[in-house]
């Protein structure tokens, strides 16, 4: 990793910023060529890139803020001035709004301009992901033993894993995919008169949406509805819009039906249990514990705090559950989101807990799992898939629950629903 390319005293050239600037420059050149090929003034290119950049930055930060509202409220100025917190799809929406305003002000044909932008935009994405890879900005993937897996030990975002941990280089995957899409669009852009306006934009939306959807499968991101990440849902929307636009541009009614079929197949394949987001947290003695290192066991993940009465209420039942299944491939990980070890240690000693208690004072684990309060419990099977989410305290000594838990441990089947309640 090379977060800083050049350091001259207090002045530093950051790799992500350098790649971002290079991406904008490359995109600007291609936009100018695209405009000229469509009989438009290439002089609009610099203004289009500028409006896209401003709109993209604003849109990206707005979506980032919406995703992490609690962090913003905790320190508004710090959150706004930091260089972190950019979300690509927010930038795409914001950039589209910015370019649309410029196009309307200048009276330009929107679809022709959008086709001119598409080729440069995907090249800019490919270059930008190189910056993410060099900087190690936190968008790496899950743990991996593949030959090309790597560690981001010098990551500017902070590398939370213990020595020897390797992960999927997700930015590399994205950069390669976007480079391939760029070559496809570049070839098609050589003869713009052969394709109706909107063709390149629609293909951009379809292909990049598919690429991001599949890269997200190895990314460590919170899962939302149907076990998909926010970016995967944006990817599905991108594909749907692209297919609709392509069908409209080509006046092909059959393609609209194809769009419905593609989305149905995609969603059908995503209704299975979702992969539980990986994380690293510290024990009370400072030892790092990795969720993915528990693969092969059923994990009972409980998020709690010492000041939460319902959390205290269910702890004795969790202790009893831990003892009852102590000889099984089963582990309880109780992640406290308190600020500081002393209060947690006092609580653990008082409650006489002997299952693993972890500390996450930043609340990062809770954000990854999208919790709404305390306590919340997640049941994760041997393959690392989240099979159930329990909101609020439960009596974990309930014989029916213990029976169903044993079925999960012994047979790998979760016979209840994803909300933890018995299936009707």
User: What is the rounded CA–CA span in Å between residue 310 and residue 287?
Assistant: 27
Q: Which residue has the tokens 């944006």?
A: 234
Question: 281 and 344 in contact (C-beta within 8 Å)?
Answer: no
* Entry pTM: 0.61
Backbone angles phi, psi at 217, to 5 degrees: -60, -25
pLDDT of residue 259: 47
pLDDT of residue 279: 87
Integer Cα distance of 403 and 381 in angstroms: 15
Question: In the prediction, which pLDDT does 423 show?
Answer: 61
Residue pair 318/396 in contact by the 8 Å Cβ criterion: yes
Residue 182 and residue 125: Cα distance in Å, rounded? 10
Q: Which two tokens stand for residue 86?
A: 């950019």
Minimal CA–CA distance to 395: which of 302, 320, 297?
320
Domain ranges of the chain: 4-40+109-272, 280-411
- Dist. CA 79–CA 131, nearest whole Å: 21
pLDDT at 4: 73
CA distance 221 to 248: 34
| Residues 134 and 15: beta-carbon distance below 8 Å | yes
How far out from the chain centre does Cα 144 lie? 17
pLDDT at residue 5, rounded to an integer = 73
Distances (CA, A) of 69 to 61, 64, 65, 86, 339: 11, 8, 5, 14, 19
CA distance 136 to 237: 28
The span from the CA of 138 to the CA of 113, in Å, is: 33
Indicate the class that CATH gives domain 280-411: alpha beta
Positions in the chain short of pLDDT 70: 1, 3, 61, 63-90, 138, 157-158, 160, 222-224, 250-274, 423-424
Distance CA 66, CA 94 (A): 14
């Amino acid at each position: 990793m090379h977060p800083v390319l050049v350091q001259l005293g207090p002045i530093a050239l950051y790799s992500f910023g350098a790649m971002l600037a290079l991406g904008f420059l490359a995109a600007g050149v291609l936009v100018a060529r695209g405009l000229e090929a469509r009989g438009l003034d290439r002089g609009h290119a610099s203004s289009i890139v500028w409006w896209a950049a401003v709109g993209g930055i604003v849109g990206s930060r707005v979506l980032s803020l919406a995703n992490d509202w609690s962090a913003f409220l905790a320190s508004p100025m710090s959150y706004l001035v930091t260089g972190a917190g950019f979300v690509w799809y927010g930038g795409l929406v914001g950039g589209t709004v910015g370019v649309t305003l410029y196009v309307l002000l200048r009276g330009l044909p929107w679809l022709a301009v959008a086709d001119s932008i598409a080729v440069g935009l995907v090249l800019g994405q490919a270059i930008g992901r190189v910056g993410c890879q060099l900087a190690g900005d936190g968008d790496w993937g899950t743990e991996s033993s593949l030959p090309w897996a790597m560690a981001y030990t010098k990551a500017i975002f902070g590398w939370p894993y213990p020595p020897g941990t390797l992960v999927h280089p997700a930015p590399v995957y994205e950069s390669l995919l976007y480079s391939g899409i760029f070559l496809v669009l570049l070839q098609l852009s050589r003869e713009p008169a052969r394709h109706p306006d909107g063709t390149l934009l629609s293909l951009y939306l379809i292909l990049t949406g598919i690429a991001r959807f599949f890269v997200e499968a190895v990314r460590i991101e919170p899962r939302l509805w149907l076990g998909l990440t926010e970016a995967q849902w944006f990817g599905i929307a991108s594909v749907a819009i692209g297919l609709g636009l392509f069908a409209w541009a080509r006046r092909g009614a059959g393609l609209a039906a194809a769009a419905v079929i593609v989305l149905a197949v995609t969603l059908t394949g995503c209704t299975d249990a979702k992969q539980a987001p990986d994380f690293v947290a510290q024990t009370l003695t400072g030892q790092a514990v990795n969720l993915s290192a528990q693969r092969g066991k059923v994990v009972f993940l409980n998020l709690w705090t010492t000041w939460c009465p319902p959390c205290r209420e269910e702890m004795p039942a969790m202790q009893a559950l831990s003892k009852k299944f102590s000889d099984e491939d089963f582990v309880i990980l109780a992640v406290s989101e308190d600020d500081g070890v002393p209060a947690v240690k006092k609580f653990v000693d008082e409650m006489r807990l002997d299952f693993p208690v972890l500390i996450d004072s930043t609340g990062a684990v809770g954000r990854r799992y999208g919790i709404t309060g305390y306590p919340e419990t997640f049941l994760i099977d041997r393959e690392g898939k989240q099979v159930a989410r329990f909101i609020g305290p439960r009596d974990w000594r309930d014989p029916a629950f213990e029976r169903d838990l044993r079925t999960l441990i012994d047979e790998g089947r979760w016979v209840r629903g994803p909300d933890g309640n018995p299936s009707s």
